[in-house]
Amino acid sequence: MAIRLLCQTRENLNLWSQEKVPDEKIRQVLRDLHLDSFAGRLDEEVKNLSGGEKVRIGVARTLIKGAKIMLLDEPTASLDSQSGTEVRRIIKEISEKYPDTTIVCVSHDNELIGISERTVSMSDLQK
């Protein structure tokens, strides 16, 4: 059995949806996250996106689905400085614009840890 890799940004944003998400809802979430440039790139192949863009699209996908909990595993790892800064900004804005969404983030990024409302250190849990 072959696995088909979804190749367009629109398809990626619709992953695991019960129904196709209307483009207007996709565009609204992208605007909320200041990702307006993606609104015109929905037909672009995902493989053409940078690592930081892929992270941001993944975050948008979670919000499009109305998730109440967002799990992020090292969202700024392996990103260049500019992309990391952008991802941190977006995560902060999500916490402000989507107060019903809880963000659980595992990270070694001290700047990201610094903008968190609550931080739990793994070393504290081992005591």
pLDDT digits (tens, 9 = 90+) for 40-62: 888 888 777 777 788 888 888 88
- Residue 74: left (phi > 0), alpha (psi -120 to 50), or beta? left
Query: What is the C-alpha to C-alpha distance for residues 13 and 20, in angstroms, rounded to an integer?
Result: 10
Mean pLDDT of 58-85: 90
Look up the CATH superfamily of 9-125: P-loop containing nucleotide triphosphate hydrolases (3.40.50.300)
pLDDT, one tens digit per residue, over 84-119 is 998 898 899 899 989 999 999 999 999 999 999 889
Query: The pTM is what?
Result: 0.73
Q: What is the pLDDT of residue 6?
A: 53
Q: pLDDT at residue 1 above 60?
A: no
Q: Yes or no: say if 42 and 75 are a contact pair by the CB < 8 Å rule.
A: no
Query: What is the C-alpha to C-alpha distance for residues 92 and 122, in angstroms, rounded to an integer?
Result: 22
Structure token digits, residue 59: 């975050």
> How does the average pLDDT of the chain come out, rounded?
84
What are the residue boundaries of the structural domains of the chain, listed by start?
A: 9-125
Over pLDDT 70: what percentage of the chain? 94
